[in-house]
Amino acid sequence: MASAAETSNETYATGKGDVERRGSVTQTEKGRWERLWPVIACGAGLFSDGYLNNIIGPVNTMLSRIYPDSYTKSSAQANVASITFAGTVLGMLFFGYTSDHYSRKWSLFASTLIIILFAALGTGSYGAGGSPTGLLAALVAYRFFLGIGIGGEYPAGSVGCAESTGELKQGTRNKWFILFTNVQIDLAFLVAAIVATVVVLITGEDHLRVAWRVCLGLGILPPLSLLYLRLKLQEPEAFKRESLANAKTPWGLIIKFYWFRLGIVSIIWFIYDFSAYSFSIYATSILANLLGESAPLWKSLAWNILINFFYMPGCLAGAFVADLPSMGPKKTLCIGVALQGVIGFIMAGCYPYLNRPENVAGFVVVYGVFLALGEFGPGDNIGLVASKTCATGIRGQYYGIAAAVGKIGAFAGSYALDAIQKAAGDDKNAAGRNPFFVASSLAFLAAGLVLLLPHIGQDTIDQEDVKFREYLLANGYDTSKMGLQSASTTTSDGEGGVVVGDEKTKV
C-alpha cells in the first residue's frame, strides 16, 4: 500500500509496459548494486580531476627548486599551474555537445582515454629535447590536452551520475551524487598531498627530478581503474527517454527558458573555483614561505596533508545535509558559502599574527576551516544544482557551460592570486592577506545569488523534464522525436498529467 507521500508523485504503467514507478524510483528487477554502480562509474572519474590538478601544487614547488631561473623567473610557473584549466574548458564545451547529441557513455569513455594518454606523456620526459625550456614547454602542452580529457568528466560523467541517481531511493539521491563527484575530488586532493610527501621522502630532495615525474605519473592509475566499468555502461534511463540526439535542437526556446538560471549557476561556480583551485595550487608555496627557506620540502608537504584533510569533513557533512528535508542543496550551498566568507575575513584580519612560523598550526587550522566550508556549501552542491536545474535533453551542454565558466574562474584565480601577491611587493602580510579579502567578498556575492535559484528536491530531474516538454509543446515544437527510441514520447493527457513513453506522470 503506497503512502500519501508516495502517491503524490507516482508514475503508473498504462498497460502497454511493465514498469511501475513510485517516488520516481523505477521499480524494475535491478538490485541495489545494479542501480549504484553506474553512479560510481560515471562520477568517480572526478578523482582524476582532483589528483591531477592538486598534485601540480607540490610539483610546482619542486620545479621551482630544480629550475629557479628558467621556471620561477618566467611565465612557465603560471602556465604549468594553470594551462590544464584552459584545456578543461575546451573539453567541457566539446564533450557537453557530444554527450547530448551522441552518447553519454562514449563521450565519457573517450575522455577517459585522453586522460590516460596525456597523464602518461605529461611526465615531461617526452619531447623535452634535453633542455629545461623544452621540458617545460612539453609539460605545458601535455597538460593542456590532459585538461581536455578532464573536461569530459563533467558534462558526460557528472551528468550521467546525476541521471543514474534517479533510480536510487528517495532521500539518498543528493548524497550519492555528492559522494561520487565532489567527495572524489576532495579525496584526490588529500591523496595527492600524501603522495607528494611520501615520494619526496623516498627519493630525497636531491632527486626531485624523479619525484615530480613519479607524482604526475601516478595520475594514470585512477582513470585506468574505471576504464572497464565505463565500457560496460549503458545510457541513463532519463537520457534514453528525453535525449534530443535524434531531434532538431530548439536553441531559441532553450535559451529563452534557461538563460537566466544558467547565468546564475555559472557565476556561482566561477566564484567557487576562483578561490578553491587557486588556493589549493598555491597552498604548498604559502606553507613553504611560512615555514622559511631553511625548512625541508617534506615538512611543507606534510603540513599540506593536514590542510587538504579539512576538505573531507566539509564535503562529507555537506553530502548528508543536502538530503535533509529541512535543508536541501540550495540552503546548504548558501549557508556554506556565507560562512566561508566570514572565516575568510577573519583570516585576512588576523593574518599578521597567523603569518608567523610559531603560529603555523593556527594558520593551518583556520585555513582548513575556510576550505572545509567551501566544500560543505558550493563544492558539494554547485554541480548538483547544475545537473538538476535543467532538462535531460540539454543537460550536458548546460552543465558543460556552467562548469566551463567555473574553470575559467579557476584559471583566472590562479593568475589573479599570483598577481595580487606580487602587487603587494615586499609587504608579506599584504601578499598573504589580500587574496582572502577578495575571496571572501566574492563568497558573499555568491550567497546572494543562490537565493535566485529554484528549489531542488528529490524528483527535480523528472519534474524539470516534464516542465520542459510542456514548454516545448506550448511553443509548437514537435516532441515526438525526443528520446533514443521512437516509443519515448511525451504528450499531455488532458487530465493534468503527462504521458512519458508508456508511463503517465502526475504533475
Q: At what angle do helices 182-203 and 208-217 cross, to 10 degrees?
A: 150
Q: Domains (ranges, CATH) in the chain?
A: 29-488 (1.20.1250.20)
Cα–Cα dist 129/485, whole Å:
53
pLDDT at 14: 33
Cell 557528472 locates to 158
Residue-wise pLDDT tens digits, 300-338: 788 888 888 989 999 999 999 999 988 989 999 999 999
Give the single-character DSSP code of 181.
Answer: T
pLDDT at 8: 34
User: Three-state DSSP class for 19?
Assistant: coil
Place 50 in a pLDDT band, splitting at 50, 70 and 90.
confident
* CA-to-CA separations, 491 to 252, 350, 430, in angstroms, rounded: 21, 60, 61
Stated pTM of the model: 0.83
User: 311, 411, 332: which is closest to 92 by C-alpha?
Assistant: 411
25-26: strand order across its sheet: 25-26, 21-22, 11-13, 503-506, 497-500, 490-492
Residue-wise pLDDT tens digits, 366-390: 888 888 998 999 999 999 999 999 9
Range scoring the smallest mean pLDDT among 206-210, 265-269, 288-292, 420-424:
288-292
Predicted confidence (pLDDT) at residue 493 exceeds the cutoff of 60: no
User: Chain-wide mean pLDDT for the chain?
Assistant: 82
Q: Strand pairing of 490-492 and 25-26?
A: unpaired
Cα–Cα dist 50/154, whole Å:
12
Q: Which residues are registered as beta bridge partners of 504?
A: 12, 499
Place 494 in a pLDDT band, splitting at 50, 70 and 90.
very low
Place 21 in a pLDDT band, splitting at 50, 70 and 90.
very low
Residue-wise pLDDT tens digits, 224-269: 988 888 888 888 888 888 999 888 899 999 999 999 999 999 999 9
Q: Would you put residue 476 in left (φ > 0), alpha (ψ -120 to 50) or beta? A: left
